[in-house]
Amino acid sequence: MTVSLRGFRNLLGALAIGAATVLGTAPAQAAGEAIALPDTRFSFAGFFGTYDRGSLQRGFQVYKEVCAACHAMRQLSYRNLLEIGLSEAQVRAIAASFQVVDGPNDQGEMFERPARLSDRFRRPFPNEAAARAANNGAYPPDLSVMTKARHNGAVYVHALLTGYQDPPAGFTLMDGMNYNAYFPGHQIAMPNVLNPGQVEYADRTESTVDQMARDVTTFLAWAAEPEAEQRRAMGIRIILFLIILGGLTYAVKRKVWADVKH
């Protein structure tokens, strides 16, 4: 394979086998059965929610150490990590730990260098064909807007990550597929990647499967809608302004129409 894969292949990813079944390409909702998703109470849920910064940073750690082995987030740059509460020095260090291809140099050759703040997140595979080849035909989708690209968004992503189970009796899994309670059709090429203690959190939060799933989902929700906090704050101000303006406008209307019998 190519040098760009060096050190990033999560062996678990290679377990994924499947014809061309891809997350999201399987018959979504085709099963037609309504499955209740676990209640999550995310920090960012509701009209006034904000992203829990601690959860965001832990979630980035889960993405970096687990998901990033197979899943790209090509819409994000390392500089975006400044928004989740990491210092510039921390983000520079994180970026510098990745080698990215740059060039051509004045010899006309491509070369590798440590990533900078302005670089996009390094992708695990150079292209879709390479990703499929490494995952036995399945393509791990880009996660940049994943929580916007599925029904029930973050709640679904969290459910999926915690939904790996043994298949019920009589359920025939295709070769290399995995059973997931919440995936449409229940057969998913992605294996269960979250096991208790999978990552070691710097803030000593216990890394249970549910905790890791919640944290990485929070991170993905932020990645998909980094503007959400600013949007909601602006929305509250604008709507309050409009309500006051509406009251004044209605008062003017009453005054103007006061002399008209109707």
Annotated binding site for heme c: 67, 70-71, 190
Among 3, 24, 87, 196, binds another protein (CB under 8 A): 24
Distances (CA, A) of 256 to 8, 168, 203, 242, 245: 71, 71, 63, 20, 16
Stretch 127-156 residues interacting with another protein (CB under 8 A): 141-142, 144-145, 148-151, 153
Q: Report CA torsion sign: 24, 26, 32, 36.
A: negative
Among 3, 45, 50, 74, binds another protein (CB under 8 A): 74
Among 7, 33, 34, 47, binds another protein (CB under 8 A): 47
* Of 22, 47, 59, 53, residue with least CA distance to 217: 59
CA dist., res. 153 & res. 44, Å (int): 12
| Closer residue to another protein, CB minimum distance, 139 or 211 | 139
Other residues' Cβ atoms within 10 Å of the Cβ of residue 231 = 11
Residues 6 or more apart in contact with residue 32 via CB below 8 angstroms: none
Select the span of 100-108, 175-183, 195-203, 226-234 touching another protein (CB under 8 A). Answer: 226-234
Task: Answer for the pair 138, 16: CB distance below 8 angstroms, yes or no.
Answer: yes
Give the shortest CB-46-to-another protein separation in angstroms. 9
* Of 13, 10, 12, 21, residue with least CA distance to 138: 21
Give the shortest CB-154-to-another protein separation in angstroms. 12
Among 4, 10, 80, 192, binds another protein (CB under 8 A): 80
CA dist., res. 66 & res. 63, Å (int): 5
Phi, psi of 34 (to 5 degrees): -85, 115
Task: Answer for the pair 134, 6: CB distance below 8 angstroms, yes or no.
Answer: no
Give the shortest CB-200-to-another protein separation in angstroms. 31
* Of 143, 153, 180, residue with least CA distance to 67: 143
Select the span of 5-13, 111-119, 173-181, 241-249 touching another protein (CB under 8 A). Answer: 241-249
Give the shortest CB-101-to-another protein separation in angstroms. 18
Q: Does 262 bind another protein (CB under 8 A)?
A: yes
Collapsed DSSP state (helix, strand, coil) of residue 258: coil
Give the shortest CB-233-to-another protein separation in angstroms. 9
Q: Does 25 bind another protein (CB under 8 A)?
A: yes
Q: Does 41 bind another protein (CB under 8 A)?
A: no
| Closer residue to another protein, CB minimum distance, 93 or 239 | 239
Question: Residues interacting with another protein, by CB under 8 A?
Answer: 22, 24-25, 27-30, 47, 74-75, 80, 141-142, 144-145, 148-151, 153, 184, 224, 226-227, 231-232, 234-236, 238-239, 242-243, 245-246, 249-250, 252-253, 256-257, 260-262
